[in-house]
Amino acid sequence: MRKNEERSKTVVVLIEEQYQDLEVWVPYYRLREAGIKTLLLGRETGKAYKSKHGYPVVAQTDYSKTKAKDLDGVIIPGGFAPDFMRRYPEPALLVAEMFKSGKLVASICHGAWILCSAGVLKGMTATCFYAIADDVKNAGARYVDREVVVDKNLITSRKPEDLPAFCSEIIKHFTPAERFLTAGAGLGVIL
Catalytic positions, written as ranges: 110
Three-state SS at 175: coil
Tell whether the torsion through CA atoms of 58, 150, 115 and 79 is positive or negative: negative
Beta strand 10-14 pairing with 73-76: parallel
Cβ atoms of 2 and 66 closer than 8 Å: no
What does the angle CA 120 – CA 147 – CA 16 come to, to the nearest 5 degrees?
A: 55
Query: What distance in Å separates the CA atoms of residue 170 and residue 22, rounded to the nearest whole number?
Result: 16
Beta pairing partners, 150? 155
User: Residue 78 carries which DSSP code?
Assistant: -
Backbone angles phi, psi at 2, to 5 degrees: -70, 155
